[in-house]
Chains A and B, each alone.
Chain A
Amino acid sequence: MKDLKNIHFYEDLLEQANNQLVQQAKEEGKKAIGYTCFYVPEVLLNVGGAFSVRLRAPHTGSLDVSAYYMSSFICGYSRALVERAFEGGYNFLDMWAGTDTCQQMNRVVENVERFKLIDKPDMKFGFLDAPMKISDYGNKHYQTMIETEFFKHMKEIGCEITDESIRAAVKEHNEMCAIFEEISEMRKEANPRITSREFHILCLVSYACPTYLILPYLKETLEDLRNREADDKCPWRARFVVVGSELDDYVFTEIMESCNAYVVADRYCFGSMPGRKQIPLKDDEEALPQICRFYLEENMCPRFMSKDKINQRHDFAVEAAKEFNADGIIYEQAKFCDFWGYEKMLQSEMFKESSDIPVLQIDREYVISGSGQLRTRIQAFVESVEIKKIQGGAK
């Protein structure tokens, strides 16, 4: 297929956290707020003169410094963020919207704060405490935490937070999500006109750049895709749903593609499900509680411990596999991530009991490139589902 018009520009944007569009927004006087987790409602960081950047550490090399400060049993993403912060890679930030949702990520923000790794006298840090199940009082608690830990600091750095400004941010966010929803539908095609690598890149730039600046480019890409035609011969031998933990490196999807495996649905941190789903807002209720409710109800982090949420996560994967006509599901876990270590085991067990969908469990390092082991495992999984197809699905 012909290259997408903006794809090389997008690749450039992913080369560093402080990318060209982030710099442009800063020059325009906007305030940069870093975050790492879906528990932080992204849309609320794009309110009243602020913009969100979901933090990554591209081109991570040695993790020696962070291994000293954090021990070597900490997940690679956490260590890479601390290492990058030591290198000054996040000095462009005005605020870090932290979460005490995963203990390792919480410690990342605490290390950055305590060691003053972002060398700015008025740098702000917030720490969100979020519930692990759904309830009315839980929603209220979540809202209070956002107001006291995030909005308070955002106001201090000059952001204007009103119901109107929140609704404006949701409108812009929904515009972006609508683009993703339409592109995502293209992945259902038997011979999709977008590659999974391209989709992963689009998704990553939408998290790593200010929404208002990336939006025009994404609109162009959508138009480009509407008119694009897939090659005559479909290169994909198998279609998979990928579910799992933090995954901000599209090299993972490149490895999948090198095995002729196509990612039809991406339910992982930095993926489009549920992060690129439109937020419905009613006019007769304030925007903030509605957004909080949305982020808790849609959230599929394994940290949610109630049975209804465990089943929701399972059902979502099953439905995604059916809807996107997948041949199997891959549960991926960032090495040393406790939540996904347990979750991939739990969900695989549930799949064994409830359906015939083949499931592969993998763990991986933060830096994926050159992982021959990962390639071998995916290749073997592709072959196993192919054999299954040849045998007519017989076990």
Chain B
Amino acid sequence: MTDKEKGLGNLYTPVSGIYKHREWRGLKDTAYDYAKWCELWGILLKWALGHPVTNVKAIFRYRWMFSYLTVPGFYDRIMEGANGAALRASRNNMNTLAVSVTQLLDDLFEADMHLHKDSEAAKAAGEKILLVDELIPSLIFRGFPTLRTILQQQIPEYLPSLINCHSPDHYIAQSESYGLPADVCPLPSTELGIAIDDDYPLINAKCFVSCNMPCDGSIMTSALQDRRYNLPTFPLNIPLRWKNEETFEYAVNEVKAMIKFIEDHYDVKYDYNALREAVEIWNKQIEYRYEKWEFNRTNISPHTGSTLWLYSIFEHQVTCGLKESLENDEKVIKIVREQMDKGECPKTIRHRAVLWNTPANMYANFNTWILNCWGIDSVAEMIDFQGYDIIDTSSDEAMLRGVVKQIEGATMRVHTKGGIDVMMSDLWRKYEEFNGDMIIMFDQISCKGVGAINGYFEEEARKRGIPFVWVKQDLFETTSVSRRSMREDINNFMSLVMQEEPLDPSLVDFDDSECW
């Protein structure tokens, strides 16, 4: 058999991308992968059978619910080719994520007035839910232990966009048919489309906390969504020049005002002891993160790619300060430490790339593709570095200020706002720290804040003599830039500029236009 005939590309059914059979990773790893795959099915079945009627109703009520049915396929895609610690860390991270998400679905559907019309029980359940914008990290809300914090857009919008790249298409079309220009970022556009379609679960919450993160589009979509939810709203206003110390007091005052707003609406008192307990867990989660980054600076780089950054985002925004998440972190750190102790790297690495700017949700397995096809390991990725300072818990005030810093470091916002240096200097720093040898820069075409400094990135990279490739993408939308065209950007760079041959020729070009 030729290399092309043996390659991973032969696993796919053309166009749909559905696997013809499971991947062979060697006896031990295949067995591990299969066991964890069965565990995932167990998690999903447990959820499905927990409230079968409600869940079936949800599948028929919400268009985005279909995407969750494709989760096993999604997991296989983002772990393709992984062996050793990478496989084990990935499977553990993602299964932990599945447990959290199914729990969230249960909580959400229990209180959903769309699914339980006129139900007093659903109404009462809704009163215990605090709805907040998906870009606000949940850590601050641990001070309300009697309330269940739910990031409003995460379940219907953010996660489905990763799991099934076609999930946002309908909602984006809704926004555009409503009059929204097609050039705006698809993230806020999808959020809005879901609101227009009335596809957010209807929760009898007492208020909503919106925010101005990460960018201009999110500011504006908040205003429009606000009208749909029709709840008393606190628009949390985090300074844009957040690196400027002069702005910090404003952020602190805003967060304090938000706490007061929630206290008033829910008639509860903010509990600093509960917050402290969560922050102490969060500090440990952060320490493990530091350790993982340290490992990834070596030639072994035991756990990189989308299962790392996806989990990081989820942890920073949702499971921060939660015991269950920490337990998984402890398990995963053991796995990667073992790999480091062995001193072996179970993957073929030709290049150590730093990936910068927001990755494409619609191609979450891009990292596995560049590794398997060209041997490019994503040793550091911008999205993996949110606000990660250890928080001082010595006093309530110091702790609150630390948590405000963590909010300022929310996903994406931490780099795309705060001035040009925030995004630029950190890139060169990470390139050095992680011993990079190339930079893959996502050109998210509708992101105007980053697009407006494209030239500066290019000139600075040229000055430093760093191999630098642009990959065009549109975050949620495959209709404007396809996954195939993203691959083409890398293929052209690797073959024409770097003059290299692919590791796996079967992956160079294929049609996956209908793949989830």
Known: A71-B454, A103-B452. A343 touches B220 (CB 8 A): yes
Q: How far is the CA of A135 from the CA of B455 in the complex (A)?
A: 38
Q: How far is the CA of A306 from the CA of B184 in the complex (A)?
A: 21
Q: Is B321 an interface position by the 8 A CB rule?
A: no
Q: Which residues of A contact B417 (CB under 8 A)?
A: 100, 103
Q: Is B181 an interface position by the 8 A CB rule?
A: yes
Q: Is B497 an interface position by the 8 A CB rule?
A: no
Q: Which residues of A contact B221 (CB under 8 A)?
A: 342
The residue in chain B whose Cβ has the minimal distance to the Cβ of A346 is B224
Q: Is B267 an interface position by the 8 A CB rule?
A: no
The residue in chain B whose Cβ has the minimal distance to the Cβ of A132 is B237
- Encoded as 1 (CB less than 8 Å from any B CB) or 0, chain A from 107 to 133 comes to 110110011000000000001010111
B452 touches A70 (CB 8 A): yes
Q: Which residues of B contact A346 (CB under 8 A)?
A: 220, 223-224, 227
- Encoded as 1 (CB less than 8 Å from any A CB) or 0, chain B from 188 to 221 comes to 0000000000000000000000101001110111
B455 touches A70 (CB 8 A): yes
- Encoded as 1 (CB less than 8 Å from any A CB) or 0, chain B from 447 to 460 comes to 01101111110000
Q: Which residues of A contact B445 (CB under 8 A)?
A: 71, 73
A127 touches B419 (CB 8 A): yes
Q: How far is the CB of B509 from chain A (nearest CB, A)?
A: 26
Q: How far is the CA of A344 from the CA of B250 in the complex (A)?
A: 30
The residue in chain A whose Cβ has the minimal distance to the Cβ of B224 is A346
Q: Is B370 an interface position by the 8 A CB rule?
A: no
Stretch at the interface among A138-146, A166-174, A193-201, A262-270: A138-146
Q: Which residues of A contact B247 (CB under 8 A)?
A: 129, 141, 145
Q: Is A19 an interface position by the 8 A CB rule?
A: no
Instruction: State which residues 130-168 of A face B: CB under 8 Å.
Output: 131-133, 135, 137-138, 140-141, 144-145, 148
Q: Which residues of A contact B436 (CB under 8 A)?
A: none
Q: How far is the CB of B96 from chain A (nearest CB, A)?
A: 34
B226 touches A363 (CB 8 A): no
A70 touches B451 (CB 8 A): yes
Q: How far is the CB of A206 from chain B (nearest CB, A)?
A: 28
Q: How far is the CA of A110 from the CA of B451 in the complex (A)?
A: 13
Q: Which residues of B contact A131 (CB under 8 A)?
A: 237, 250
B449 touches A103 (CB 8 A): yes
B216 touches A339 (CB 8 A): yes
Q: Is B179 an interface position by the 8 A CB rule?
A: yes
Stretch at the interface among B113-121, B154-162, B238-246: B238-246
Q: How far is the CB of A192 from chain B (nearest CB, A)?
A: 32
Q: Is B420 an interface position by the 8 A CB rule?
A: yes
Q: How far is the CB of A107 from chain B (nearest CB, A)?
A: 3
Known: A74-B452, A141-B249. A305 touches B180 (CB 8 A): no
Known: A131-B250, A342-B220. A103 touches B455 (CB 8 A): no
Q: Which of A100, A137, A348 contacts B179 (CB 8 A)?
A: A348
A345 touches B178 (CB 8 A): yes
Q: Which of A74, A132, A310 contacts B448 (CB 8 A)?
A: A74
Q: How far is the CA of A70 from the CA of B184 in the complex (A)?
A: 16
Known: A111-B455, A342-B184. A104 touches B449 (CB 8 A): yes
Number of interface residues of B (CB under 8 A): 49
A307 touches B181 (CB 8 A): no
- Encoded as 1 (CB less than 8 Å from any A CB) or 0, chain B from 88 to 104 comes to 00000000000000000
B224 touches A338 (CB 8 A): no
Q: How far is the CA of A156 from the CA of B475 in the complex (A)?
A: 44
Q: Is B339 an interface position by the 8 A CB rule?
A: no
Q: Which of A68, A127, A144, A303 contacts B455 (CB 8 A)?
A: A68
Q: Which residues of B contact A100 (CB under 8 A)?
A: 240-241, 417, 419
Number of interface residues of A (CB under 8 A): 53
Q: Which residues of B contact A70 (CB under 8 A)?
A: 451-455
Q: Is B324 an interface position by the 8 A CB rule?
A: no
B443 touches A107 (CB 8 A): no
- Encoded as 1 (CB less than 8 Å from any B CB) or 0, chain A from 231 to 258 comes to 0000000000000000000000000000
Q: Is A69 an interface position by the 8 A CB rule?
A: yes
Q: Which residues of A contact B185 (CB under 8 A)?
A: 338
Q: Is B274 an interface position by the 8 A CB rule?
A: no
Q: How far is the CB of B233 from chain A (nearest CB, A)?
A: 7
Q: Is B253 an interface position by the 8 A CB rule?
A: yes
A127 touches B241 (CB 8 A): yes
Q: Is A46 an interface position by the 8 A CB rule?
A: no
Q: Which of A68, A69, A129, A310 contacts B223 (CB 8 A)?
A: A310
A133 touches B235 (CB 8 A): yes
The residue in chain A whose Cβ has the minimal distance to the Cβ of B245 is A148
Q: How far is the CB of B283 from chain A (nearest CB, A)?
A: 29
Q: How far is the CB of A113 from chain B (nearest CB, A)?
A: 8
Q: Which residues of A contact B244 (CB under 8 A)?
A: 127, 129
Q: How far is the CA of A307 from the CA of B224 in the complex (A)?
A: 10
Known: A111-B455, A131-B250, A305-B210. A342 touches B180 (CB 8 A): yes
Q: Is A212 an interface position by the 8 A CB rule?
A: no
Q: How far is the CB of A302 from chain B (nearest CB, A)?
A: 7
A307 touches B217 (CB 8 A): no
Q: Which of A103, A135, A137 contacts B216 (CB 8 A)?
A: A103
Q: Is B183 an interface position by the 8 A CB rule?
A: yes
A103 touches B220 (CB 8 A): no
Q: How far is the CB of A364 from chain B (nearest CB, A)?
A: 12
Q: How far is the CB of A142 from chain B (nearest CB, A)?
A: 9
Instruction: State which residues 419-442 of B face A: CB under 8 Å.
Output: 419-420
The residue in chain A whose Cβ has the minimal distance to the Cβ of B242 is A129
Known: A305-B223, A310-B223. A69 touches B235 (CB 8 A): no
Q: How far is the CA of A173 from the CA of B414 in the complex (A)?
A: 39
Q: Which residues of B contact A363 (CB under 8 A)?
A: 181
Q: How far is the CB of A13 from chain B (nearest CB, A)?
A: 29
Known: A100-B240, A132-B212. A345 touches B448 (CB 8 A): no
- Encoded as 1 (CB less than 8 Å from any B CB) or 0, chain A from 12 to 52 comes to 00000000000000000000000000000000000000000
Q: How far is the CB of A289 from chain B (nearest CB, A)?
A: 15
Q: Is B358 an interface position by the 8 A CB rule?
A: no
Q: Is B446 an interface position by the 8 A CB rule?
A: yes
A339 touches B443 (CB 8 A): no
Q: Which of A68, A110, A338 contacts B220 (CB 8 A)?
A: A338
**B residues touching A (Cβ–Cβ < 8 Å)?**
178-181, 183-185, 210, 212, 215-217, 219-224, 226-227, 233, 235, 237, 239-241, 244, 246-247, 249-250, 253-254, 257, 416-417, 419-420, 443, 445-446, 448-449, 451-456
Supply 17 A–B pairs (Cβ within 8 Å), ascending by A: A68-B455, A69-B456, A71-B452, A73-B451, A103-B216, A129-B247, A132-B212, A132-B237, A138-B250, A148-B246, A305-B219, A336-B448, A338-B215, A342-B223, A343-B220, A349-B178, A349-B227
